[in-house]
Amino acid sequence: MARALITMPATAKRGDVIEIRTLIAHPMETGYRRGDDGHVLPRNLIRRFACRYDNEIVFSADLYPAVAANPLIVFSTRATVTGALTFTWEGDNGFAQTETALLTVT
Amino acid sequence: MSASASRRPLREAPMRIARRSVLAAGTLCLLSVRPSRADAPPELEAAIRAFAEGKPVQSGRVTLEVAPLVENGNAVPIAVAVQSPMSDGDHVRQIAVYNEKNPQRDVVVFNLGPRAGRARVATRIRLATSQRLVALARLSDGSVWQHSVDVIVTLAACVES
């Protein structure tokens, strides 16, 4: 399991727009670089990120080699109901990770 | 004597025209080879056209926030903001970023909807060299908007050998 950081408020008023920052430890190897032995390092990327909240994907992203290592993704969502936000990262070599964060809506 | 003197201008005339036309042609060549600054390079232009799906690409509404001078191309903070009320009827559906000189034109594509609340996203990207970045946004009415920024990179990202 890669280390993932999710920064967002724990509580919000209904209708408020909250900012969510996600960071995950991942090399994002482009497949264009050569190692010390001169061989091309095999591509190893996170290809897709999605945030699910209140039974719906509220935000998603397609990542390409030009995204820096340890991808940071900052986005927003509108607080609707108290519940869990589910974050998923999927990529090469069967990489898949899911994290959840609770949001209390008042 | 008088005959040869009168013949000389006749013989020189076509030569003078030829030299002038050669010079003119050369100047035309130089002008056509020099790329115009306003147009995006062909590969980047193709990526923009592919995203637009035949819709006209308009300037405005989108803001690509990136430092004009980047010290480390391995992690360049960027943010894209779009002027939009983000309501059910009028919202941003997609934000995409393309580059000019990395090995691949695509950088990142974000999919948003009315529940995003605010049309602003941020991430960190790699830049192989000084180049142009373009942010595009597709709104719910299908219109496509763009903003491009030229970035100077002092330490390039290790994207190729």
**Integer-rounded Cα radius of gyration of chain A:** 16
Condensed to tens digits (0 to 9), the pLDDT of residues A29-82 reads: 998 888 888 899 999 999 999 999 988 999 999 999 999 999 999 999 999 999
Q: How many CA atoms lie within 13 A of B20 on its CB side?
A: 6
Among A43, A46, A64, A74, the residue to mutate for chain B (most B Cβ within 10 A): A64
Residue in A17, A57, A67 closest to B118 by CB: A17
Condensed to tens digits (0 to 9), the pLDDT of residues B41-75 reads: 888 999 999 999 988 999 989 999 999 999 899 99
Asked if the model's pLDDT at residue B4 lies above 80, the reply is no
Q: Which residues of A2-35 are buried (b: 16+ CB within 10 A; e: fewer)?
A: eebeeebeeebeeebebebebbbebebbbebeee
Residue in A66, A68, A76 closest to B118 by CB: A76
CB count within 10 Å of CB A36 equals 6
**Which secondary structure element, helix H or strand E, spans residue B17, and what is its range?**
helix B2-33
DSSP B40: P
What chain A holds in terms of domains, given with CATH numbers, is: 4-32+39-105 (2.60.40.10)
By the CB < 8 Å criterion, does A53 face chain B?
yes
Q: What is the pLDDT of residue B35?
A: 41
Asked if the model's pLDDT at residue B152 lies above 50, the reply is yes
Of B75, B73, B65, the C-alpha closest to B129 is B73
In chain B, domain spans: 1-34, 42-155
A·B CB contacts under 8 A:
105
* Chain B residues touching A57 at Cβ < 8 A: 111
B42-155, which class in CATH?
A: mainly beta
Burial of residue B78 (number of CB atoms within 10 Å: 0-12, 13-18, 19+): buried
> Could you write out the DSSP letters of every residue in B64-131?
EEE-SEEEETTSEEEEEEE-----SSS-EEEEEEEESSSSSSEEEEEE--GGG-S-EEEEEE--SSSE
Instruction: Say whether A67 and B159 touch across the interface (CB within 8 A).
Output: no
Among A83-97, B10-24, B74-88, the range scoring the smallest mean pLDDT is B10-24
Q: What is the pLDDT of residue B33?
A: 46
- To which residue do tokens 């190692």 refer? A35
Instruction: Say whether B102 and A59 touch across the interface (CB within 8 A).
Output: no
The confidence band for B18, taking pLDDT boundaries of 50, 70 and 90, is low
Q: What is the pLDDT of residue A54?
A: 87
Cα angle A78-A79-A81, degrees, rounded to a multiple of 5: 135
Instruction: Say whether B107 and A74 touch across the interface (CB within 8 A).
Output: no
- More confident site: B28 or A61: A61
Q: What is the pLDDT of residue B23?
A: 58
Q: What is the pLDDT of residue B32?
A: 47
